[in-house]
Structure formats: C-alpha cells, structure tokens
Amino acid sequence: MGNLRRTHYATEILNEKIGNEITVAGFVARQRDLGNLIFIDLRDVTGIVQLAFGDTTDRALFEKAKGVHSEYTLIAKGVLRERSSKTDKIETGSLEIEVNEMRVLSGAEVTPFEVRDDINVRDDLSLTFRYLDLRRPSLTKNIVMRGTISKCARDYFDANHFVDIETPTLIKSTPEGARDYLVPSRVQPGHFYALPQSPQLYKQLLMLSGFARYYQMARCYRDEDLRADRQPEFTQIDVEMAFVDVDDIIATGEGLLTKLFHDILNIDITLPLPRMTWREAMERYGSDKPDTRFGLELINVSDCVKSCGFSVFSGAVQNGGAVRAINAKGLADKLSRKEIDKLAEFVKSYRAKGLAYSRWTADGRSSSFEKFLTPEETAALDKALGFESGDVVFLVADKAKVTFD
C-alpha cells in the first residue's frame, strides 16, 4: 500500500466537506470505460463509492484505471466532489472521489458468478466460493447486522447487572434433546468429550456460586437432521437469573427486544407485549409458538356436539378427545367440493381420520354431518363458530393432539 492508508469507509464520505482529501479501499464492483472518462464503483463493508478519472487525471494513472476489472482490490486517494449525474441507487450517489493516486493491491480472475445482489446462483457454487458470495451487499449487511445485534445485546445485559461468563465447550455428555457431537481425548484413550448442546448445567452452577445474573453468546452443537430452523452449530443468547419470578424474566426479554428494535431498526415497540398462556395458545392456534397473524383460529365445539346423533363427534368427546373447527370466512364460493375432498386427504397426513365440513353459499347450505344434528344443535354450533352465509367450516374429531395439529 506504500504510504496510502484508508481514512474513510465508503459511506463515511457523506459526513465530509466537498474538497476534502479522502482515501478509500475495497473491491471493484464495476468499472465503466467511457473513453475519456472512467468510473470505478468501489465496494467496502459499508457500501459503494464512485471513483472518477478524467481529462485532468495523470495519464499513467488513467491507463492503470483502464486496466482495472471487477473484484480487483484497490486503495485510492483523491478529492471529494459532487457528482454531475446523481443517483439514488446507492447511498453515496450524490458524491464521488476525483482520484489522484491509486494502487492495485491485487488483481482478480473472472469470477464464477457476478458479485451482486438479485442473481440466481446454485447453492453448491455460492458455497464453494463463499468468500466471494459474502461480498454481495445483502450478505455483507446481514453479517454486519449480526455483529451489531450482538454488541447491542451485550450493552443491554451489562447495563442490567448481568455478568458475561464463558462456560466450557469440552464437557461431559449430559442428557439433552438431541445427540451429542463427541471429541476423542488424546490423554485419556477411549474417553470422549461432548460439545455442549447448551450451557444449562454450568449456568445453574453459576447461580449456586452467587452470580445472580449471567449471560453468554453461547455456541451450541446438536447432532440432528437439518431443517429450515435447525443447524448442527448455532449461537444463542443464553441467560440465567436468580431471585426472580416469571414476570421478571419476561420483562427482561421484553427490554432486550425493545432495545434491539429501537437501536437496530429504529422501531419503537409498545410494552408490555401481548401474552398468553400455553393452554390459550394451544386452544386458539394448536401450537405453543403460534403466528398470531394467522386468522384461522381453532374453535373447540366439543360441548355443542357431545350428545349429538353424529357418532364421529359424540364418540370422540366421550372417549376423552375433542371436536375442533376453523371457520374460513367468505371462502364458501372459492372452495369447490373437489378441493374440500383434497383437504380431507391432506388432514390424514396428520393422523386425522377425516374432515367434516359445512358450506353456506347463496344457493343454500351443504354439509357432511348436519343431517345427523337436531335444529337446536345446528343453531348452537353456528353460534359457536360464528357461521354465516359465505363461510365454510371444517371440523376434526379425534384425540386432542390430532385436533391441534
């Protein structure tokens, strides 16, 4: 780099005065050769800044800029000026640097894919060249945000008297929810360490040791099949507290979320957050981690049909099960009988024996079970479901877990 040293990251030029001398460094996102003008978009971890070379540029420097291609590594010094042609496509679109000195720190071969967002690249190719993939602005932003979240969380816990304590990662195998990753011991042949699935035992020992508030950005390892939300290793914000009850723990979590959303996304959250018991979540959504934006809530209609003449319903209730339903408001004319039959097959994948339905269109009501009910039972069911013209309701009678699923 010689005597050149970076003075600013790309987006930091927005805080500088026109005419100030700036030195930036990064990778070439794009080079545009217009004959007597050359523009280079230089990318670093904060964004992109345009380097400009023109008639007043030293000829040797101009020729050097002409030979630059995508993903070359550069460090360049020059004078900050306004762009003659502004753009809102990048954050620094109103400014550019008129370069008077530049060094090519590293050349680059043609990359296996374009290093930019909004491209389709095979997963195996992007992972093989992960170091190039991470140069893409969206992925760079994600990595930077992850680090910012970590710092923000640490600031919050530090301000609330938590102590950051690292627990061992080579431990004795303990019963957990998944299989352990094992590490053979060199000094004790035939014995193995386990990588922690969580720091559970250690943080409980810390409570006994008098550290009433502990936290850790804990690395955890679980040998289980991959899923969309499961990986073999992951980081969790691990917390343990003493001398508290459930409301204190919830308040601590809400305080962390409030700070993260405010500091990272500039979004203010109103507290307290909505709360529900496990039982309420299961009764309304059939899940202990519900997406409350999902409008099709479960309705327990067991009391309405426990003595009805339809043995599928009454039998399920008498055997300790339940009858639960959802009301698809306004979808009666959008779901054909054929589509309803497909749904009946679909629920069998969740071990349900079948799917009962009632459909109320402008032409009247059609149902797979109402003929077995008295008018009073039908009216009670309609009231419980909020069933009206234009709706279609679906019911499952089975064990509680099946109806929740």
- Is the residue at 273 inside a domain? no
Whether residues 336 and 365 share a domain: the answer is yes
CATH number, domain at 165?
A: 3.30.930.10
Q: What is the pLDDT of residue 259?
A: 97
Whether residues 252 and 357 share a domain: the answer is no
- What are the tens digits of pLDDT across the range 32-90? 999 999 999 999 999 999 999 999 999 999 999 999 999 999 999 999 999 999 999 99
Q: What is the pLDDT of residue 284?
A: 92
Whether residues 247 and 152 share a domain: the answer is yes
Whether residues 361 and 309 share a domain: the answer is yes
Give Dmax (Cα) for the chain.
Answer: 95
DSSP for 297-322 reads: --EE-HHHHTTSS-HHHHHHHHTT-E
167 pLDDT exceeds 80?
A: yes
106 pLDDT exceeds 90?
A: yes
C-alpha distance from residue 95 to each of 16, 52, 91, 184 (Å): 10, 10, 9, 57
- Is the residue at 132 inside a domain? no
- Is the residue at 199 inside a domain? yes
- Is the residue at 96 inside a domain? yes
- Is the residue at 6 inside a domain? no
- Is the residue at 286 inside a domain? yes
Which residue, 197, 232, 265, sits at the end of a domain?
265
Q: What is the pLDDT of residue 230?
A: 79
* 21/319 Cα distance (integer angstroms): 82
Note whether 221 and 179 are within 8 A (CB): no
* 103/101 Cα distance (integer angstroms): 7
Q: Which letter does DSSP use for residue 388 in this model?
A: -
Percent of the chain with pLDDT over 90: 87
The domain containing residue 368 runs over which residues? 282-404
Whether residues 287 and 392 share a domain: the answer is yes
- What are the tens digits of pLDDT across the range 243-284? 999 999 999 999 999 999 999 999 999 999 999 999 999 999
Q: What is the mean pLDDT of residues 5-14?
A: 96
Whether residues 212 and 261 share a domain: the answer is yes
In this predicted model, which residue has the larger pLDDT, 229 or 98? 98
Whether residues 261 and 340 share a domain: the answer is no
Q: Strand 322-328 vs strand 299-300: parallel, antiparallel, or unpaired?
A: antiparallel
204 pLDDT exceeds 90?
A: yes
Which residue, 48, 81, 106, sits at the end of a domain?
106
- Is the residue at 180 inside a domain? yes
CATH number, domain at 37?
A: 2.40.50.140
| Global confidence as pTM | 0.82
Whether residues 256 and 287 share a domain: the answer is no
Q: What is the pLDDT of residue 231?
A: 87
Whether residues 250 and 351 share a domain: the answer is no
Whether residues 375 and 295 share a domain: the answer is yes
Whether residues 296 and 238 share a domain: the answer is no
Whether residues 261 and 292 share a domain: the answer is no
CATH number, domain at 303?
A: 3.30.1360.30
Q: What is the pLDDT of residue 174?
A: 84
Q: Which letter does DSSP use for residue 49 in this model?
A: E
- Structural domain count, the chain: 3
- Is the residue at 260 inside a domain? yes
Average pLDDT, the chain: 94
- What are the tens digits of pLDDT across the range 334-365? 888 889 989 989 999 888 989 999 999 988 89
Q: What is the pLDDT of residue 293?
A: 87
Output phi, psi for 187, to 5 deg.
-85, -15
330: left (phi over 0), alpha (psi -120 to 50) or beta: left
Q: How many CB atoms lie within 10 A of CB 259?
A: 16
